[in-house]
Structure 1
Amino acid sequence: MTSSTGTTDSHLREELVKSEELFKGNFLHARRDTIRLPDGHNATREYVLHPGAVVVIPLLDDGRVVLERQFRYPVGHVMVEFPAGKIDAGEDPFVCGRRELLEETGYTAREWAHAGAMHLAVAYSTEIIHIYFARGLSLGERQLDHGEFLDVFTATPDELSGWCRDGTVTDAKTLTCTLWLQNVLSGAWALDWKALPPEGSAG
C-alpha cells in the first residue's frame, strides 16, 4: 500500500500470527489477535467485529434537518443523533439507510446522495458507518422496532452546530455528519444526488 505522500506503509503494517475468539453475542463479536509488529516483536490486539451501519442526514425543504433523541444505555444519557442503524447481514447500505429513515422517523425521500464513510473507533472496532444525505422528504408513519423508543425533532443547521460546539451533541457520527452538512451547504463539498424511481415503476 502507498500512502497519500507517495511512500509505502510497510514500516507501519502489523501481520496476523494467530487469532482467538473472546466473546460472541447477538450483536457484537470480540477477538484477540497475536500480531507481529514491524520490528519483529509480537503484541496482542483486542477488537470488536461489527457488521457496519448507516447514518442519514435528512434535509427538509425549509432548511431544517431531522434529528432524534434516544437513550443510550452504555453511556447512560439521552443522545441527540441523526437517524442511523445497523446493516443487516447481506444488506446494501443504501437499502439500510432508506429502511432506517422510514422506521425511525416516518420519512421517505425522493433523492439520496452517498457522502462517504467513517470508521467509528479504529483502535478497537471494525465498525464502518456509511453516510447518506436525503432530501425531498415526505412524512408518513414510523415503524419502530420492538423495544425502540426515541423522539424525532427538527433543528436548523446553525442550532445543530451550536449544540456540537457547546457539548450538547457528543455522538461521533453526528459530529462527523455536521461537518459534512456544513461543507455541503457552503458549496465546498459536492454531492451526487440520485432520484428514486416513482413507487410501482420498473427499476
Structure 2
Amino acid sequence: MTEIADRHLVEQYIRSELVHQGSFLQVRKDVVRLPNGGESSREYVLHPGAVVVIGLLDNGKVLLERQFRYPVGLVMTEFPAGKLDAGEAPLVCAQRELLEETGYTAREWAYAGPMHLAIGYSDEVIHVFFARGLAAGERQLDADEFLDVCSMTPEQLLAGVAAGQVTDAKTLSCCLWLQNVQSGAWRLEWQAVQS
C-alpha cells in the first residue's frame, strides 16, 4: 500500500461547503475530482477523534460498560471510550475516560493503534489502548452521563458477539485485538504510566 501505487485511486479536493456545525461534530459537503477526471460530491462528518480502552482486570475479565445510545435506541455493551478534547493527547484522554466512566486507574498502558470507525462518511479515528494493573476508585461521570460498569470473561464477551448481543463496531474491532493479544499472535509494548 504505497502512495505512488495508489495514486490512480485518489480523489482531488475542489471545494467544500459547511452543511452543519454542531457542538463537536461538523458535516461537510465537498466536490472532488475523480480519478477519471469527472466530478462528484462527498458528504462526511468531521470528528475530533476518540479513544477506546480494553481494560484487563486481574481476575481475567475485561472491563465493560452498558449505556443507552440514543441514535440506535438501545442499551449497548461497550468497552469504555470517549472523545478527545481539543489538543489532548490520546493517552491522556484514555486515562481520563477510564477514570471518569469506570473509576479505574491503570499501572500500565499499551497503545494498540488507530482505528477508522466509519470511513464511508466520517474522518473519526479511535485510538485503541490496553490497560492493566487496574485499581478501582470513584467514578467521575458528567452530569448528563448514565452508564453501568460491568465485566465479562473474554469468552462471555465473544459469546455475546456471536449471539448478536454485542454489536458496537469499536467493541467488535477491539475483540479482534483482544483475541490476538491473548493468543500471543500480536504483541503490545507495555509502559508504566502515571494515571
Shift of 1:196: 1.8
Aligned match for 2:46, one of 30, 49, 71: 49
SS of 1:143's partner is coil
> C-alpha separation between the residues in 2 aligned to 1:190 and 1:164?
23
Q: Which runs of 5+ in 1 are unaligned?
A: none
Aligned AA (2:42): R
| AA at the equivalent of 2:61 | R
Match status 1:69 vs 2:66:
yes
Unmatched 5+ stretches in structure 2: none
**So what's the TM-score if we normalise by structure 1?**
0.94
- 1:7-37 Cα offsets, whole Å, 9 max, x none, are 6111100000111100001021000000000
Identity %: 65
Q: Does 1:129 pair with 2:104?
A: no
Counterparts of 1:17-166 in structure 2, within 5 Å, are: 17-166=14-163
Alignment partners' CA distance in 2, 1:69 and 1:183? 24
Letter in 2 for 1:2: T
Partner of 2:9: 12
Q: Which amino acid aligns with 2:148?
A: D
| SS of match in other structure, 2:82 | strand
The CA distance in 2 between the partners of 1:116 and 1:27, in whole Å, is 23
Offset of 1:117 from its aligned partner? 1.2
Shift in Å, 1:179 = 0.6
What CA distance in whole angstroms lies between the structure 1 residues aligned with 2:6 and 2:193?
41
Which residue of structure 2 aligns with residue 2 of structure 1?
Answer: 2
Deviation at 1:70, TM superposition (A): 0.4
The one-letter code matched in structure 2 to 1:56 is V
Secondary structure in 1 aligned to 2:143?
coil
- How far apart in 1 are the matches of 2:24 and 2:164? 29
- Classify the secondary structure of the residue corresponding to 1:54: strand
Give the corresponding residue for 1:180: 177
Measure the CA separation in 2 of the matches of 1:2 and 1:179.
Answer: 25
How far 1:62 moved relative to its partner? 1.1
Mapped partners of 1:165, 1:179: distance in 2: 13
Q: How many residues align?
A: 195
Residue 146 of structure 1 deviates from its aligned partner by 1.1
**How large is the Cα RMSD of the aligned pairs?**
1.1
> Which contiguous aligned blocks of 4+ residues in structure 1 show a shift greater than 3 angstroms?
none
Q: Secondary structure at the match of 2:28?
A: strand
> Partners in 2 of 1:119 and 1:157 — Cα distance?
23
CA distance in 1, matches of 2:135, 2:145: 22
Aligned mates of 1:139, 1:174 — CA distance in 2 = 22
